[in-house]
Amino acid sequence: MSEPTTMRQTLKRGFALSPEFRKGFGITLTLAGVAGLGKTAVPFVTQQVTDRGLLAPDGVDVSIAFTFAAIGAALLIGATFVERIVRIRMVVQAEEGLATLRIKAFDTVHDLSVLTQNADRRGSYVSRVTGDVETMRDLMQWTGAAMMIAAFESMIMLVVMLVFAWQLALVVIVAYIPTVVMVKVMQPRIMAAYGRVRARAGDLLAATGEQLVGISTIRSYGVHRHMRDDLARTNRDIVKGDTRAGWLGTSLFSTNAAAQSIATGLALVVGTRLALDGAVSVGTVVAFAFLVYSFAGPIGWIIEMLAEMQRALVGWRRVIGLVDTPVVVADPGADGTPIPRGRGEVSVEGVRLQYPTGPEVLKGIDLEVPAGRRIALVGETGSGKTSFVRLLARFIDPTGGGVRIGGVDLRDVPMDDLRRSVAIVPQEGFLFDGTIRSNLAYALDESTSAEDLERQALAVFESLGLDGWLAAQPHGLDTPVGPRGELLSAGERQLVAIARAYLRDPDVLILDEATSAVDPATEVRISRALESLMRGRTAIVIAHRLSTAERADLVAVMDAGELVEVGSHSDLVELGGTYARMHEAWVAQTR
Ligand SMILES: Nc1ncnc2c1ncn2[C@@H]1O[C@H](COP(=O)(O)OP(=O)(O)OP(=O)(O)O)[C@@H](O)[C@H]1O
């Protein structure tokens, strides 16, 4: 994952990814400047009220004092109003920018190959799309702009101080040197501490998710204490990192508080001396005390917010890292070549595959499956069957050779078209929380009307011989399936998954035969439905039962990443090789 390393890179890439953050930002900042200027009027007005009103040479001039006080009040009210506009603009910009970033992050997660999405990364993705984006909210909504306004106010104050009494201004500058040094030293450390916190938060999410999914295994092995200790360790790391960042932030804050007191004290001492010498007026010294206050206030606030900003930048950096993860399986989109409909011949040429984390698992596979034929893939566990069908569905790309369907190399096929032409029925029919109907809807275009969906769905269940089963469901198509389809039995989930694939009407089917046992009635329903589903289509079946291989047109035997035998069941039995041995063992076991 290519995360930006510096603050400048983060801001540059971050603004490019969410242009909304920058849209109209010039106006927002100008308004913020106006608000800041309005506030800076207070020391001026105070000076005028003191020197020209209260300490006027001819006695107290009430009308001048009153006029300047009224001007000051009007400016302050105006500034507050403008500040409110600035804030509203910032909230809108921030929410729009964050929404865009979330969508881009979701899109990347969808586009990443199944390979990149291995279990340990999934939690990190979730935390990036959710938690990390959230850490940015305050910065984008207000803190960022407010920090700029505050910096602007302090700069103006510094200039004003220099104009008012440069000697006193120098005293203030010297008092603040330690704060500047501390910020330089602490900033990268705070960022590093937050970096660790966010990374561990991702780990925590991944571990929690895994433990929830595996709760029955954890219970049955009684390892919940051990698992909880693992979570507690990660949790402790988060607390440690957060505490360290907080501690570093506080040390900055203390340095700044000391600088503020020293600056004010020194300015008053030196100011009184200068006033006694007649170098500056008493009004100037009084106003200068206000100036120091107005200069130090925003700086103190910036320092306080600095840790918050670092936290947000770390979050931003992590989301950018996710969005910029290279998509290995690239979609040619509209520039691609669709697979001609009705052409389901599969041609595999010299296909090799090596996962980044291990040795080569497919070592040069050649295979031709004519359109409309059924081929059974058999082989020992780990021989590469799943990896092979992943390539056919283009979940990953081969490291060598290529796969063609209907004469088109899969890398040239637009993903939308590929998903229409090739459907997969996995071992475990995954259903989304909703109803049977909503799960079938995924197979059709979004534009399909409700009536069309209903008509097609009922026809599919009938064609698959499942109309009786559907009628027995409490609410027919509207029967709820629960999260992951858990309100249905494993076999019933499989039935819905088969119906879903049938609705899609693909030319090529990839089936991973279920290994888990289901009741005999469901078993019969599943195999009948599968027969109907496969009729007239090219089917590649990972066969875990040799009875399935017996019924296929062709059998392909995989062994340690190689296709060692291809032929009809009877030919291969006759050949007396690997398949014949597997078959013999199976017959001995089952008959
Ligand atoms: N995502 C992955 N990353 C790294 N290695 C993997 C990955 N998936 C599978 N492998 C490795 O590839 C090899 C082939 O695995 P594959 O799942 O394709 O075999 P299989 O024949 O389908 O096995 P089974 O019948 O048990 O499902 C194995 O050695 C496995 O460890």
8-30 pLDDT, tens digit each: 889 899 999 999 988 888 898 88
Low-confidence ranges of the chain (pLDDT < 50): none
Pocket test for ligand 1, best of 329, 357, 385, 512 (most atoms within 8 A of CB): 385
Mutate to test the pocket of ligand 1, among 361, 388, 546 (most ligand atoms within 8 A of CB): 361
Distance CA 429, CA 511 (A): 11
SS3 561: coil
- pLDDT tens, position by position, 298-331: 899 899 888 888 889 999 999 998 888 877 788 8
Instruction: Provide the pLDDT for residue 114.
Output: 66
Q: Which residue minimizes the CA distance to atom 5 of ligand 1?
A: 355
Task: Name which residue sits closest to atom 7 of ligand 1, judged by CA.
Answer: 355
Q: Which pairing describes strands 346-354 and 360-369: parallel, antiparallel, or unpaired?
A: antiparallel
- Gap from CA of 383 to ligand 1 centroid (Å): 7
Residue where the block lists tokens 């409110």: 84
* Predicted pLDDT of residue 111: 77
Q: Which amino acid is at 444?
A: L
Angle subtended by helix axes 144-164 and 25-48, to nearest 10: 40
Closest CA to 418 of 329, 348, 287: 329
| Residue 133 CA neighbour count, 13 Å, CB half | 23
Question: How far is residue 421's CA from residue 1's CA, in Å, rounded to a whole number?
Answer: 32
Helices 62-111 & 7-17, crossing angle to 10 degrees?
80
Quick one: pLDDT at residue 538?
A: 94
Return the ∠ at Cα 97 (arms to 22 and 299), rounded to 5°.
60
CA of 355 to the centre of ligand 1 (A): 9
pLDDT in tens, 67-80: 888 888 888 889 88
Distances (CA, A) of 496 to 424, 429, 540: 13, 8, 20
As for ligand 1, residues whose beta carbon falls within 6 Å of it are: 115, 118, 355, 357-358, 361, 379, 381-387
- What gap in Å lies between CA 276 and CA 283, rounded to an integer? 12
Output the CA 112–ligand 1 centroid distance in Å: 19
| Ligand 1 centroid distance, CA of 388 (Å) | 9
Whether the CB-CB separation of 368 and 346 falls below 8 Å is answered with yes
pLDDT for 403: 96
